[in-house]
A = this chain, B = another copy of it.
């Protein structure tokens, strides 16, 4: 009887293309989440730090950090999508559609858009498109994620293979600029750096220099804050070899470190792709470097878009991503591809 009450998570055979999973535990965000975000990461982008700065950029006030919104939305999917996941394989087509403000309540739902059983018959890949919604049922962000999930019943028949066509990268036309955003009167001094959109060249690389050596308490505080319940992050009796750090913690750490050199890449609006190249553990020192992949103008006044590769490492030299074998170097933690908005 008791086994019926706790959540065993879903296995590969429990998904069908077209299923819509309504994820549990909506969350109202406040200044508390913002303060914690600033305590957990060296986050300094001015638009997410200051109401006055955000208002000077045409927003009603400072939103919750774009990645904090992502984590809140993502965390809710864990019990339904990745509790029995073997690996988090990728992200695509992530778009931030509306800023999230204090007092907003977020919930998430995911549609199964693809399934592919692996040839070993023991696992399969599940593709979901997740939407984060606010209390007015407006979609504040959506993204595609695919994970490898174990089968529980190895005798369950393989589903018809459906692999969704996903864009390698969002086009500039796919990006949604927050209503009212205007960088015409952008204050570069307050933002922290003088470099504008025109100062960055495609192919340019930036070593963000700073590093943070990660402590166990910090990544657990972060991961819980997003109500991510995967036990690999918390329970040393489950993983005596060390708690696995939530990949999103590395994303936020690297993004915050990228302030030094990209202080004006203010708002993330698109997530083209991302790979958690190697696991991260406490005691490792996370550093970051970026590469400018693309640039585009937008219709919003003074607002340019910049596509960036953000790489987090736990050692090694910057700008080294893959070995001769085409595989990520062992010191690479994260390879993220995103679009941000920057003053022109």
- B135 to A51, Cβ gap below 8 A? yes
Please tell me if A298 contacts chain B, counting CB pairs below 8 Å.
no
Please tell me if A41 contacts chain B, counting CB pairs below 8 Å.
yes
Q: Which of A86-94, A110-118, A198-206 contacts B (4 or more CB under 8 A)?
A: A198-206
On chain B, the residues within 8 Å of A33 by CB distance are: 31-32, 35
Q: Mark A214-252, 1 if CB is under 8 A from B, else 0.
A: 011110111011010101001111100001000000000
Where chain A touches its partner, the secondary structure class is mixed
On chain B, the residues within 8 Å of A38 by CB distance are: 27, 224-225, 227
The complex places the Cα of A242 from the Cα of B253 at a distance, in Å, of: 20
Of the residues B28, B201, B212, contact of A234 by C-beta under 8 Å: B212
**Chain B, residue nearest A1 (CB):** B204
Q: How far is the CB of A112 from chain B (nearest CB, A)?
A: 16
On chain B, the residues within 8 Å of A262 by CB distance are: 5
- B285 to A205, Cβ gap below 8 A? no
Q: How far is the CB of A182 from chain B (nearest CB, A)?
A: 18
Most chain B CB neighbours (cut-off 10 Å) among A22, A235, A243, A262 = A235
Q: How far is the CB of A92 from chain B (nearest CB, A)?
A: 27
Give A contacts to B, CB under 8 Å.
Answer: 1-2, 4-7, 22, 24-36, 38-42, 44, 46, 49-53, 61-62, 79, 102-103, 105, 107, 135, 189-193, 195, 201, 204-213, 215-218, 220-222, 224-225, 227, 229, 231, 234-238, 243, 260-263, 285, 315
Closest 8 CB pairs of A and B: A30-B31, A32-B35, A24-B192, A26-B50, A217-B217, A213-B236, A211-B235, A32-B32
